[in-house]
Chains A and B, each alone.
Chain A
Amino acid sequence: MIFSLILGFLLLIIGLYGMLTQKNLIKIVIGFSIVDTGTHIIIVSIGYLSGKTAPILDSTVDLANAAKQVVDPIPSALVLTAIVIGLAVTALMLSFVIKLYQKNKSLSIDDYQELKW
């Protein structure tokens, strides 16, 4: 669990680093995506309890002792939603990138700073 938590944070920082250093819009989106993934990993790792099973009520899980046998289902639920949302955002970002590229034939973020001050 600790490992995955650290991994999550590591991804988060890598993603942020990428967003801050890369000039290419696509790469920035990728960086964002990595941040997103890192977050998701963190969420999942919080809810994970070692030695327990997935929160699915099937034959392996005893209905009465379910709370003891399965990991916390809520983080998993959260992460599913978050992934969906992250996907939507990433898609929208990419569509922005495409539109920007169509209009200005440039993918460098430095070319989009006439709005300032």
Chain B
Amino acid sequence: MVNPIYILTLSLAAGFLLTLIDKSGRKLSLTVFYGILSLNVFIIGEWFYRLTFLNTPTVIINTAGFSAPLSINLQLGMQEAFVLLFANLTALLSAVYLFKKFKETHISGLILYLIMIVGVNGLVMTRDLFNMFVFSEILSISTYALITLTETKKSLSAGFKYMIAGGIASTFFLLGVTFIYYFTGNLNLDFIHLGNFSNLGFISIFLLAIAVFIELKPFPANGWALDVYEAVDSGIVSVIAVVNSAAIFFVFYKIMPILPQNFLNVFGIAGVITFFFSNLMGLKQKNAKRLLGYSSIGQIGLLVASLIFTMHLPRSLMYLIVGGFFFNHLIAKAGLFWITGIVKKENLKDWNVLKNNKPLLVLFGILLFALAGFPPFAGFWAKWEFVKMLVHGKMFFVVGTILLGSLFEVIFLFRWFTLSIKGDEKTEHKNISLELSKMFPTTIFAGITILISVLIMKFFYDFNWLHALPVLAVLIINVIDFLPSKIKGILSLAAVLTYGYLIYPLESNIQLFFGIIFIIGSAINIIGTLNRKGKSEGFYGLLLMMIFSFGNLLVAITYLEFFLSWEFMTISSFLLILRGKKAQKASMLYLIFSTAGAYLMMVGFSLAPDLVSNSVLILSISNVSLPIAATILLSIGFMIKSGSLGVHIWLPEAHAEAESDVSPFISAILLKAGVFGLLMVGISYIKHTPSFDIFYWIGWIGVLTAIVGAFLASFQEDAKRLLAYSSMSQVGYIVASIAILSHLGWLSAMYLSFNHMMFKSALFIAIAGVYYRTHTRTMYEMGGLIKKMPLSFISVLIMIIAVSGVPPLSGFGAKWLIYSSFIEKGWYLQAGVLFFASGVSFLYLYRIIHTIFLGQLKYEHQNVKEAPIWFIIPQYIFIIGIMAISMFPNLIIQPLNSIAMRYFNSSIIIDGYTISSSLGYWNGNLVMYVTMGVFVVPLIFLMLFNGRMQKVKQFNIVYAAERPESPQTTHVAHNMYAHYRKALGGWGKPRIWDFWHEVSEWSHSLADSIRQLYTGNGQTYILHIIMYVIVIYFISGV
């Protein structure tokens, strides 16, 4: 047990001695240097352990033999120890990172570094205001000096601006300290109370607080900080952004008790504003380090806000929120700054060098996900609890601003991420040199991030191990990534089935039903991925992560568990989409919309009342009366995932650009997660119908989605895009029939969900097979493939009949149920629109089968073969499924009927194979037999009585007595429904796309115009600071 004062004195002493030690060689001085830093960490670590786990009381060290207030006292409590441990660890690792630099530079660098650490440590521990000033000046001066380690014009000028701004701030600080002394006669924080101040005295507190606050870089008085982040060496900047910020943040925390509430509110709001605007401006940023700078500033703003708004909460919760943000932000930020130093690329577009560097990419990914606040990292939990807290406190404006800011942050961070994975190929690929000294600290920090998330999940929330399974899956598959992909695929298949078996005894049939869609559907689709050659690194991990999160949605008990699985699902599907060749834009769109949806859901869940029973969410939600706002927000969140009209624009991109064997998962299964969620909202809704009928409007949205999706699908040239829009349209049907909120409606929604899972999987896999052979998705480039790929053709044929709803296949059942339910409910016009949509669906269905399989075979496809067996197997499994439920509809109708009966009175009668509703009846079995009969009889007739039949080839056509020029010009495929487009006229314009495009343009140009504030001129920055002080002064109304 070492006296904590030694961490100050040791460093200080070493600092002075180093000049001497260096005479006997740099090696020795480096040893001493790192020794001291390690020792610091060790001492603090020990203290932290004692204070936290052994409940040792807070240590107070009085210097100069007197007790406070006569002398300066240092305090080391748990909080101090936490911050110090963290700061010293970062300092140590930063020093390791700077190893090369320290080896070459003048010894003063080492000394300054040590002095800076002294400043930080002192700043954290001291309780005396003036002492704080001294330590902060030590810290500042050493930092200024450290900046000169790299003597470039940029770093020097940034340093100069930093100094001026810092000088102004410290002047305010000094004035504040002086006046506080004047008014209270005391400088020790422990002895200053709010009550001591008169009205005039508040100015002194204000000066003090604003000085500290300016050091925390509030918007817009933070131009200097941005310049420093951009210009200074990565190693140093990570210290500035992390260690310094942490210390100053802690100072703010220390002086908070003496600040009056109205100050705090103003600072809290200012923090939120900083968070919002810096993230907004980050949108426009192209320089990696400056981008991190914006993010950094924003996060500090959020930290301050969270600190202020959570003060009244129980300690543990507050520690989770503030600590979560603190930890998450600073660790991730340090790591990312280090990575910028390793990559050494300024422009984000040049970051695609990372593509070839897996270890660095993994680190980068972990830190970025942590920074953006995705689970399982600390920021996620903090954000969840923070939003919940704010919502409970009815601070909706703050919630909105923070979430919007977070969304901006996600956008620019992941634009960076996706650019580094999928950036332009044009830039040259230089391999990045991975120096051990630089990689080591980064790796450690990434490790710590993961460790902390594990700790939170285990100790704070105590989740079922199932909920860690998605992450575990990624880790395990990464461990065995050296295996060929076939083996991994089979293992994954086994894992999925095992998982299904594990969660099998489900509490209710509705879970079981969605379980079949999620788990069995995925399992069959995995067969399609077995066609992969090579290793396909990382693929199966993400796939398993996604499938497990689907499953976890079913068994989630609390809102948080549900939301956690939801976010896992989003992450994994995002990364899966990103694996596509040109998926940068598509995956970004997907992520933006998903994140926005997730945030809405977060607020929605926060608004929701507590659960009363301890069963799975889908069941217990029926006892919960969701408020209208929660219902709306949750519905929008789920509808974003299911691609409803208005928020559908991510859907075609994501489906089209994902790898072709991933698309079936996204379309057939991922969209069903949205359906599942919406059904969940509906379950609560039917039991507690509020006055305002939200689901009526959801019904309309669903109906319009169906029609618009169908039209858009008809106008596509890209096969996968067509199928994507088709999915949108079909899910529109599902959403609309959920919104009916009747027995028949839900029956049809679930029936169609199941059907859609099967036919859309099969269609996407069939297209995957075609793509695999022809290497094109553009439909008019294909044609005539029926001769080459008959098995795929048959599967597509059966599936499009199933989609279109033509009897005798199961699609008709869905249509019958839907129309019956709509008429029964009295939604006549909606039913009319759906009729229209189902008519339009013929357009795209014919288009996809004709332009790919019929018509003229191209020269380049004369030698293509049937799709690989791995694509054929799942298709035919789905065909068997479709045929089975078409032939024997009771197989599916009866169980679904029982599920829907849980919530509504049954409105259908099942008698043998005849299913009757109040409106009509339908006997799928008989229809099948009759259809077979009427089909077989003419067939036999034709076979018997047809004359001599000659099979001819593709060019043996009547071509107005000419001969066809080439297959390309003879194949009618391009812009097939041009006349329809013409007929639609102005209705055919992509308005929604335009709208979102405008939103994007608008926010970017707003960001651009706001960031003009930062002119780069030091004097402007001073002016900003002074103006900021004045404005805050007036707002806080001292």
Contact = CB atoms under 8 A, between A and B. Distances in A.
Interface stretch (B145-153, B387-395, B467-475): B145-153
Interface string A30-73: 00100110010011001000000000000000000000000000
A46 B153 CA distance: 42
A25 B160 contact: yes
Contacts of B181: 46, 74-75, 78
A10 interface: no
A85 interface: yes
A115 B157 CA distance: 9
Contact of B1019 (A20, A39, A82, A88): A20
B171 interface: yes
B1023 interface: yes
A28 B161 CA distance: 11
Interface string B145-182: 10010010110111110011001101100110111011
Contacts of B140: 89
B63 to A, nearest CB: 15
A75 B178 contact: yes
Interface string A77-117: 01001100100110011001101100110000110111111
A113 B1017 contact: yes
B717 interface: no
Contacts of B1032: none
B148 A99 contact: yes
B163 A92 contact: yes
A70 B1014 CA distance: 49
The SS class assigned to the A binding surface is helix
Contacts of A75: 178, 181
Contact of A116 (B160, B170, B179, B1014): B1014
A7 interface: no
Interface residues of B, number: 49
A36 B173 CA distance: 12
Contacts of B1014: 116-117
Contacts of B230: 115
Contacts of A117: 284-285, 1011-1012, 1014, 1016
A103 B153 contact: yes
A89 B178 contact: no
Contacts of A42: 175, 178
A14 interface: no
Contacts of A100: 153, 156-157, 160
B619 interface: no
A41 B766 CA distance: 83
Q: Which of B175, B227, B1026 has most chain A Cβ within 10 Å? A: B175
B137 interface: yes
A99 B187 CA distance: 38
Nearest to A111: B157
The SS class assigned to the B binding surface is helix
B706 interface: no
B141 interface: yes
Contacts of A93: 160, 163-164, 167
Contact of A113 (B148, B163, B167, B1016): B1016
Interface residues of A, number: 38
Interface in B1001-1038: 1011-1012, 1014-1019, 1022-1023, 1026
B239 interface: no
Contacts of B134: 81, 85
Contacts of B231: 115
Interface in B384-419: none
B733 interface: no
A96 B163 contact: yes
Contacts of A20: 1019, 1022-1023, 1026
B221 to A, nearest CB: 14
Given A100-B156, A113-B1015, A78 B177 contact: yes
B197 interface: no
A43 B181 CA distance: 10
Contacts of B137: 85, 88-89
A99 B151 contact: yes
A102 to B, nearest CB: 9
A34 to B, nearest CB: 11
B144 interface: yes
Contact of A115 (B151, B158, B178): B158
A77 to B, nearest CB: 9
B493 to A, nearest CB: 51
B42 interface: no
Interface in B171-202: 171, 174-175, 177-179, 181-182, 187
Nearest to B155: A115
B499 interface: no
Given A20-B1022, A100-B153, A112-B153, A92 B164 contact: no
Interface string B281-301: 000110000000000000000
Contacts of A16: 168, 1022, 1026
A28 to B, nearest CB: 7
Contacts of A114: 153-154, 157, 1016
Q: Which of A21, A25, A81, A85 has most chain B Cβ within 10 Å? A: A85
Contacts of B1012: 117
Nearest to B186: A74
A20 to B, nearest CB: 5
A109 B1019 contact: yes
B113 to A, nearest CB: 16
Given A46-B181, A115-B154, A19 B1022 contact: yes
B158 A103 contact: no
Contacts of B1016: 112-117
A115 B1014 CA distance: 9
B904 interface: no
Given A78-B177, A115-B230, A89 B163 contact: yes
Contacts of B187: 74
Contacts of A85: 134, 137, 141, 170
B66 to A, nearest CB: 14
Contacts of A36: 167, 171
15 contacts: A12-B171, A16-B1022, A20-B1023, A28-B1019, A42-B178, A46-B178, A46-B179, A85-B141, A88-B137, A89-B163, A93-B160, A103-B156, A113-B157, A114-B154, A114-B157
Counting from the closest, the 9 A-B pairs by CB-CB distance are A116-B1016, A113-B1016, A112-B157, A115-B227, A85-B137, A46-B182, A43-B178, A117-B1011, A113-B1017
Given A81-B134, A114-B154, 7 more contacts: A20-B1023, A21-B1019, A32-B167, A39-B171, A92-B145, A113-B1017, A115-B154
